[in-house]
A and B are shown apart, each in its own frame.
Chain A
Amino acid sequence: EVQVVESGGGLVKPGGSLRLSCAASGFTFTNAWMTWARQAPGKGLEWVGRIKSKTDGGTTEYAAAVKGRFTISSDDSKNTLYLQMNSLKTEDTAVYYCATMSHGSPDPWGPGTLVTVSS
């Protein structure tokens, strides 16, 4: 069964950093393109970014709201995706989801991890 599970969320002060992890299983991670998305409390879904598989170049794309502050990476030896978040702002408070991709769009998604940015 294809499965992804996020971890690493928590409470962080504005200007702080946090690294989220996404553990993948049930598929060949080395060939997978992966996505991060988020959802602020009571709001809609927002795409954060994507990383191609290393076999496809390993390049990344980001939403304008996080570009320069967030970095997506992966460790194929651990079947794990990461989201390094720096210079966090209160507006980054959200549930963060990771997903693998098939047919061009994210699926399936993990259960999410909550990040709260507050002083």
Chain B
Amino acid sequence: DIQMTQSPSSLSASVGDRVTITCRASQGIRNDLAWYQQKPGKAPKRLIYAASSLQSGVPSRFSGSGSGTEFTLTISSLQPEDFATYYCLQHNSYPRTFGQGTKVEIK
């Protein structure tokens, strides 16, 4: 199975900060990676697909990059509505695997 190691597990940031979250795959997954945002009690919402493609309707302050084994999700200027938990998901091979999640909290 491919292990997805996501870091950090949590972070505190202020509105306007630039935030970067990383996912590392235990083996190469090309660009078969998506990023999701989840707020308490809600379903996950996809932000990025194919590692760097912005989901329709998602603000442009979100961006994704990487290929192979190293991937990043960047929020260029954190907004109040961005405080949530973020997950990566690899869909290169079965079983699909999620990262452990990164909780973004208010500083």
Which A residues are closer than 8 A to B by beta carbons?
Answer: 35, 44-47, 50, 61-64, 97, 102-112
Taking a contact as CB atoms closer than 8 A, the residue among B32, B43, B50, B100 that contacts A44 in the complex is B100
User: Which B residue's beta carbon lies closest to that of A104?
Assistant: B91
A96 CA / B84 CA spacing, docked (Å):
20
A104-B49 CB under 8 A given contacts A97-B44, A112-B43 = yes
Q: Give the B interface residue count (CB, 8 A).
A: 25
User: Are A107 and B46 touching (Cβ within 8 A)?
Assistant: yes
- In the complex, how many residue pairs between chain A and chain B have their CB atoms under 8 Å apart? 61
User: Are B98 and A111 touching (Cβ within 8 A)?
Assistant: no
Which B residues are closer than 8 A to A by beta carbons?
Answer: 1, 32, 34, 36, 38, 42-46, 49-50, 53, 55, 87, 89, 91, 94-101
User: Are B46 and A44 touching (Cβ within 8 A)?
Assistant: no
User: Are B98 and A106 touching (Cβ within 8 A)?
Assistant: no
Please give the distance in Å from B101's CB to the nearest CB on chain A.
5
User: Are A45 and B87 touching (Cβ within 8 A)?
Assistant: yes
